[in-house]
Chain A
Amino acid sequence: MAGRSLSETIAFIQKLDQARNPEEVCELLLNITRRFGVERILAGLIPAPGADRRTQLSHVVMNAWPEEWARRYFSHGYLFRDPTIEQVQLATTSFLWSELEPKYRSDSAARRIMAEAGEFRLKEGYTIPLVTLEGEIAGFSLAGERLEIAPEEKPMLSLVATYALGRALPLRQSPRRAVTSLSPRERQALQWAAEGLSDGDISAKMGISEHGVDKHMRSARSKLGVTSRTHAVAEALRQSLIV
C-alpha cells in the first residue's frame, strides 16, 4: 500500500489538471502544504544577473507572496542580494532558510533582506531548486511564520513543487503578449515584411516614405522586444498580430 504522502501527492497531481491559471495552482499547493505551516509561495525562473525590474517580474511564475513585500523586494533590487537566490543557483538539493544563516551571517545586505522578510511573516522558508527543459534554473520557495517539515516529508514537497511548476509554466500569461499592441501602420508594415517585401517595396505599397517605413518597423521591433526584422516577423506571427 502506498503511504499517505504518496497518495496525497498523486491526488494533487490529478487535481492540477483542472487548474486554469498559476493562481489556481498556487491555491492547490497551499491546500496540500498548509499542514507544514506554509502560508506563502513564490516560484520563478532566475533572471540573468543585472536584469532590470521588469525582466525580474516577468520571470515570476507563481506568486502568493505578501504584496507589499514583493513590491519592496523587486523595487529595491533585493533579488541579486537574496541569499536564497544565490543558493538556488549553487545547489541541486532543497534547503531550509535557517540552514543558510551561517553562510550569510557576515553579509549585512543579505541579513537585512532576511530580517525584512521576517517582518512580513516570512520567517521560515524552504526553497527547492529546479531546472527547466530550456536549462533555466527555477527557485521554488514555501514560507510562513513557522514551518514544521520533518526530514522524511521533504521528498514529497520537492515532488509537489515540481509538478506545480510544470503545470504553472505553460499556464502563465506571456508578459510580452499582454503588452504588445501594434498601431495599424506598424502592423501593416510587418505584414508586408512577412510577405518578403523590402522597405522600398513597402513604402510604395503604403504610400509613405522609406524613412516612414523604417520608423514603423523600428517601433514595432521595440514593442515586440526584438532587435531584427526577421525576429519581429516571427514574433508577430507567433502572437497572431499578423497572418
Chain B
Amino acid sequence: MFRLEARTSTPAWFNLALPLIAIGVTLVLCSGLIAVAGAGVIEAYGVMLSASLGDSYAITETLVRAAPMIFTGLAVAIAFRAKFWNIGAEGQLLAGAVASCFVGAIPMPGYLAMLLMALAGAAAGALVALLPATLRVKFKVDDVVSSLLLNSVIYYALMALIEGPWKDTFSGYPISPPIEDSANFPVLIEGTRLHLGVVVALIAAPLCWFLIARTTLGFRIRVTGENPEAARYGGINVQRVLLSTALLSGALAGLAGVGEVGGVHFQVMSDISPGYGYSGIVVAMLARLNPLGVVPAAIFLAAVMTGAEAMSRATGVPAFLSDVIQGTALLAMLVALLFTAYRIRRVGAQT
C-alpha cells in the first residue's frame, strides 16, 4: 500500500525537475490533440520548435513575445511570494499601456519620453494593484476576487477611452493615437523587432531575484508569505509589506504594458494583451515563484505561442493548441508541486 507523507524539505534538483516534468507531461497530453487533428506529433512539435527557436530571427520574435510575460511573471511571482494573491496583472498591464501611451504621444526628446513612459506605466500598474491590497489590509477584502474583478473594470475603461475621447481621429478605428516616432523603443538588431524593452525585461529578472533573495524588503516579503504570525512577532509590519509588494508587483505588470506600447504596437488597442496577465500566473508557477526561473518559463510560453502559428500553417493543427498547452502546463505544474509537500512512501499492510 502507498500513502502520502509530508515532506520536511525538498531536494534542490526539484526546482529544475518539476517544471520540466510538468512541461513533458503537458506536451504528451497535448500530442493527443495533434493526433486528433490528423497531423504527425513529432512533425508538429518539430515545426513549433524550429519556428520559435530554430534560427536567430525566430529567437528574436520569441524574445519579443516573452518580454511582457517576463514582466507579468515577475509581478505574479513577487506578489505570490508575500501571499498577496494578485490575479490582476492583466488589468495592471492595460493600465500601464494606457498611461505610457498618453505620455509617449507628448512631443519631447526620445530617451526622456521612454523614461517617462516607463515611469508612468509602472505608476499606473502600481496604483491599480494598490487597490486590492489596500482593501485587504484595511477591510479584509479577499484580494483574489477584487484583483480579478478589477481586470474587467480596467478593460472597459480602456475601451471607453479608445472608442470615445481617445479614439484615433486619423484612422477612425477604436485605437488610440500612436505615440511619437521618437518615443518608439530603439530596435537593437536591424531587421528584427527586438526592442530595448526586451533587454530591460531580461535585466529586471535578476534584479527582482536580488531584491527577493538579498535585501531586507525581500526578506520581509518572504517571511510575510511564509509565516505572517512569525513576521508580526519579529516586528515586521505585515500590512506595510503587503502594500509595498502590491506596488512592486503592479509596477512590474505595468511595465509589461509599457513594452507592448513602446516596442511592439506604438498605440493602444482593445487586444493589446492576448491574456499576458493570466499567462504571468502560468509563468510564475512554472518558475516556482523564483524570479530567475521566470525568464526560461516566459521564453517557453512565448516559444509555444510563436511556434503554434507556424505549426498551424504547416500542418493545419489549429494554433489555439498554444492556449491548451498553457492551461495544461499550469495544471500539470500545480500537481507536480504536490511532490514538494508530500512524498509517496510504500508502507506495510495495515489493518
Do the two shown chains form a genuine complex with each other? no
